[in-house]
Amino acid sequence: MSEQEILLSVRNLRTLIKTANGTFSAVDGVNFDLEKGKALGIVGESGSGKTMLSMSILGLLPQTARISEGEVFLNGEDLRTLSKKEYKKIRGKKIGTIFQEPLTSFDPLYTIGDQIAESLKHHCGLKRSEARIKVIELLETVGIPRPESVYDEFPFQLSGGMRQRAMIAMALAPSPEIIIADEPTTALDVTIQAQILELLKDLQKERNVTVLFVSHDLGVIAEIVDEVMVVYGGQVMEHTDVNNLFYNPAHPYTKALLKARPTLTTEGKRLRAIAGQVPSLEARPSGCPFHPRCEQATEKCSKKAPPMTVLENSIRVACWLYCHENEKSGEQPNV
């Protein structure tokens, strides 16, 4: 990690969920730092724990879930010590959020413009007339044509792509320090998806905004982030920069995800799906969570979870195959 300022720091984060069958770990000892102005992707299959991780950071867990351990620092402020009211204030002002379905974030009874203006009045103290001007500017920034009329339109009047642009305008409105985007393009068709990714990329560069981007799609992740954290079973399997992810992947799960991905060369061929299923929360295996599906698993993998190993090129990987490269782990080489 360079000397740059760390904006978001997550330490040993653990989140538990209560179900009818007991209490289970959804996020299991996650650690990472995100530098100011950088974009970090969290990637994994559905059920891997990536959304629970982002919701834990946002303080938006369902009632059945709670953080049991760990810290979340935003610009040095420990978010876990905040009351619900204080957290809500931080979420509106310092953390912008973009979700998969904007219809669930916008109130159908209010116009797009009034909802964004409300956030500006509340968090930035703008008067109604000032907020209107700023909202129209923001709608224009995110590429919405005829922003003055769209200001007075209701969410259902906009197409999916336009609604997602409006949601990005809403996230940007109070000039947040970080934007957390969870599958923001998944519900869109590929053309609109490419346009939204382009927009997010431009905005990130122009405004130097820090981004935490959650997606199941490696292709989408590649478009926008500097670093990637691959998660599985609520744990970080690999944390690497985006080039290494594609050209020098280390973890067997990362390699399997890449092989399962459609590319130009796989067109017309059968894709190599990862054998087995993502285990349910209630049936996560012992040891390395990936061991039942891993082609390189040994007996040790099912018994003990591998420690995080830091490789020479700063790749962090949780796999017994690499353990001998990390003297700090104190583990003996097994390969």
- Interface with ligand SF4 (CB under 6 A): 252, 288, 290-291, 294, 296-297, 301, 306, 319-321
User: For residue 9, which phi and psi values (nearest 5 degrees)?
Assistant: -130, 125
Do 233 and 245 meet the contact criterion of CB atoms below 8 Å apart?
no
For the CB of residue 319, give the shortest distance to ligand SF4 in the complex, in Å: 3
Which tokens belong to 333?
Answer: 């080489």
Query: Shortest approach of ligand SF4 to residue 291 CB, angstroms?
Result: 4
> Least CB distance from residue 27 to ligand SF4, whole Å?
18
What CA–CA distance (Å, rounded) separates 332 from 311?
Answer: 15
> Are the CB atoms for 293 and 334 separated by under 8 Å?
no
Give the amino acid at 273.
A
Q: Which is nearer to ligand SF4, 17 or 274 (CB)?
A: 274
Phi, psi angles (nearest 5°) of residue 40: -115, 130
Render 218-276 in DSSP notation, one character per residue: HHHHHHH-SEEEEEETTEEEEEEEHHHHHHS--SHHHHHHHHTS--GGGTTSPP-PPSS
50 vs 94, which CB is nearer to ligand SF4? 50
Closer residue to ligand SF4, CB minimum distance, 67 or 288:
288
Q: Compute the least distance from the CB of residue 318 to ligand SF4, in Å.
A: 7
Nearer to ligand SF4, 221 or 321 (CB): 321
Per DSSP, which regions of 49-162 are E strands?
65-74, 77-78, 95-98
Tokens found for residue 55: 């919701």
Question: Which is nearest to 195 in space by CA: 227, 226, 153, 164?
Answer: 164
Bridge partners (DSSP) listed for residue 78:
73
- Residues in the chain, how many? 335
In whole angstroms, the minimum distance from the beta carbon of 226 to ligand SF4 comes to 24
CB of 262 to ligand SF4, least distance (A): 23
Give whichever of 138 and 288 is closer to ligand SF4, judged by the CB atom.
Answer: 288
Nearer to ligand SF4 by Cβ, of 105 and 302: the residue is 302
Nearer to ligand SF4 among residue 19 and residue 334 (C-beta) = 334
The minimum distance between CB 308 and ligand SF4, in angstroms, equals: 11
Residue closer to ligand SF4, measured from CB, 213 or 320: 320
Judged by DSSP in three states, 162 sits in helix
- How far apart CA 182 and CA 199 sit, in angstroms, is 16
Give yes or no for a contact between 279 and 290, defined as CB atoms under 8 angstroms apart: no
What residues pair up with 42 in beta bridges, in sequence order?
214, 229
Q: How far is the CB of 25 from ligand SF4 (least distance, A)?
A: 17
